Structure 1
Amino acid sequence: MTSADVSVRIAWADDAEAIATVQLRAWPSLYGDLVPAEAFPSGPEAVAGAAEAWRASFAKPGDARNRVLVALERNRVVGFAITGPAGDPDCDPVADGELRELIVDPDERGRGHGSRLLQAAADTLVADRFTRGVTWVGASDDRLRGFLTAAGWGADSAHRELELDEAGEVRLKQVRLHTQLS
């Protein structure tokens, strides 16, 4: 594969279905240790519903600095990243930008798409005049935490728990990582 065959660009509304497909394919590998396999949405109806949610988010991004980037192999979406102002109460929404998601299709991992997405996300945060980047990572996600640590992100001692179900029985423990942007 030549370098011309892979790229990262700002996502378009037309990418909604492809992004939804990658997202739904990745969830079992990201959260399979917390949620049973049958709980993950799948099939054409699930993709259509997720694609509609993506289209709505593209139509009303909320903040001009909210961005979705897609990793491409040829013209096929193989991953995506979301950036925007950091929303944590202890962050400065002017100086601190957040990498909200960094997802690569499970079948495409290890091919450089994540590295390209991460670099493009950092470049986008810099272009949006953020000076520090933050992101939340599952406390047990050694693969992603190791990837980000190797790229210069480090823990900043913040942590949280998210409830993944309405009953509050499935909880995701996360740690926050940060990096200086410049």
Structure 2
Amino acid sequence: MANVGVRAARREDAVLVTRTQIRAWRYGYREFLPDGPLQQMTGPAAEDLWLRQWEEAISAPPSSRHRVLVAVERIMDTDAFPALGPGGVAAPNPNRGVERVVGLASHAPAEDPDLDPGATAELLNLLVDPDFVRRGHGSRLLNATVDHLRDDQYGSVVTWVFADNYAMLGFLESAGWGNDGAERVLNMGRVVTMVRMTTDIR
């Protein structure tokens, strides 16, 4: 049995957040990114860099509007019972189990020059460990992100997605997001295009 949820990331989560990002990229981007750049993005040197960046993002964000959230599963041990109490009655301990970080989301004020950072936020990351997909973690992370952004008085949110990442595009479109026409063209040994997706959260 597993309990699931979303919470604010803590400093001690940084290692698992980094590993989740690396695993999600290796699995999710392998179909449309060139091997060389993907290996550079997910290799040991890059992993060390990402770890330092996540530690800073979690422990010392630039503002209160910069947040990192994690999706967690607590794997419960249903066979673990406390010692018998008076009357010989025992019950499962709901606090037993191991919590595992299985996804992450981060957001911040939008930085694109055509956007107002006071009114529009950017979803910087939304990633789920490939061993834990299709369990609702992505939707829970997205919903929690929107809740925080509404609390911060944002009216809209954008995110950049690889144009060939059909799984992510389909997920966002099913949640009411749409392509706003902005594009980025990257040279990664061959041309790779990113598109900007947006949604109104008022």
Q: Normalized against structure 1, the TM-score is what?
A: 0.87
Structure 2 match to 1:99? 123
Q: Displacement of 1:71 after TM fit?
A: 0.2
Per mean C-alpha deviation after superposition, the further-off stretch among 53-62 and 146-155 is 53-62
Structure 1 match to 2:182? 158
Distance 1:38 1:181 in 2: 36
What SS is found at the alignment partner of 2:131?
A: helix
Q: How many residues align?
A: 175
Distance 1:65 1:50 in 2: 20
Per mean C-alpha deviation after superposition, the further-off stretch among 131-140 and 46-55 is 46-55
Structure 2 match to 1:68? 68
Q: Displacement of 1:124 after TM fit?
A: 1.2
What SS is found at the alignment partner of 1:55?
A: helix
Amino acid at match of 1:34: L
Residue 178 (1) aligns with residue 198 (2): yes
Structure 1 match to 2:101? 77
* CA distance 1:163–1:128, shift in 2 (3 Å): farther
Distance 1:86 1:19 in 2: 22
Distance 2:64 2:170 in 1: 31
Q: Displacement of 1:42 after TM fit?
A: 4.5
Deviation per CA, 1:26-66: give whole Å up to 9, x if none: 111233232326545356x7655532331123333122200
Residue 58 (1) aligns with residue 58 (2): yes
Larger Rg: 2
Could you tell me which runs of 5 or more consecutive residues in structure 1 were left unpaired when the two chains were aligned: none
Q: Normalized against structure 2, the TM-score is what?
A: 0.79
Q: Displacement of 1:128 after TM fit?
A: 1.4
Percent of aligned pairs sharing the same letter? 43
Amino acid at match of 1:10: A
Amino acid at match of 1:68: V
Residue 108 (1) aligns with residue 132 (2): yes
Distance 2:13 2:150 in 1: 24
Distance 2:146 2:102 in 1: 19
Residue 21 (1) aligns with residue 22 (2): no
Instruction: Name the Cα RMSD after superposition.
Output: 1.9
Distance 1:52 1:39 in 2: 16
Structure 2 match to 1:34? 33
Q: 1:147 aligns with which of 156, 167, 171?
A: 171
